[in-house]
Each structure stands twice: as C-alpha cells, then as structure tokens.
Amino acid sequence: MEINKSGFIRQNFQQNNILSYLSKVIISKTDEEIEKKKNIYVENKEHLSQLKDSLKLKKETLIKEVVEQKRLSKLYEVLRTVDTLKKEGVLIGNNRVKIMKMLDKLQDQNIQTLKSVGDKLIIYLPDNKIFSS
C-alpha cells in the first residue's frame, strides 16, 4: 500500500504541475490577446481623435466660407442698388455725398453693416424699387 500511496502522490504532484503550467500558459496567451486588442483600441481611438480634429477644422473653414459667401452676396446686392441709383439719376447733389459716405470702405464691412447700408440705399430708389439678387 505504501507504493500505491507514493505513486498516487507522485501522479497527483505531476498533475498539479501540469495544471499549473497549463494555467500559466493560458493566462499568458490571454494577456497577449488582451494587450493586442488594447493596442488596436488605442490606435483606433487615436485615429478617431485625428478624424474628429480634421472634421472640426473643415467645419470651421466651411462656416467661414459660408459667412464670406453671404457677405459677398450682400455686397453684390448693395453694389447693384448703387448701380440702379446711378442709372435712375439719383446720384446727384446731397444724395451722392451721403451715398458715397456710406460706400466708404464698403468691401471690408461685415454682413450686418452691409444689410444696414443696403436698407439705407433702398430709401433713395424712386418709388422704392427693390431689386433682389
């Protein structure tokens, strides 16, 4: 019986060593997979952040371009009104001086100022003819 006990203990000890070794291998492989997936996640997160930053810059640029386009459209409308005033013969005397003062540095004005100038110019149109762009 002692032989059986000794053999059983050795066999049990070997099984425990094998199980311990397999557990370590499984844990190691699992850790490697976790690390790989973590690296992929971090790379994707950085890429997403870069895409968001790029999109934000493009959005800001697009907004600036739209605002500038609206400003230029309003400027064109004001210039058309001035041209109409010239054709109608309104640009004489005091009207001409007032309108020329309004048009001073017109190209550098923002859209609100251009709207204001446009509204002021419409007053001088005969019979309040309003031309839209």
Lowest mean pLDDT among 14-18, 117-121, 128-132: 128-132
Q: Which tokens in the block code for residue 46?
A: 């950085």
Cβ 133 vs Cβ 76: under 8 Å: yes
Average pLDDT over residues 52-78: 95
User: pLDDT of 83-112, one tens digit each?
Assistant: 888 888 878 888 788 777 777 778 888 889
How many other CB atoms sit within 10 Å of the CB of residue 130?
A: 10
All structural domains of the chain with their residue ranges: 2-128
Compute CA distances 101 → 2, 9, 104, 121, whole Å: 118, 108, 5, 11
Average pLDDT over residues 15-24: 88
Number of helical H runs and strand E runs in the chain: 3, 0
Q: What is the mean pLDDT of the chain?
A: 84
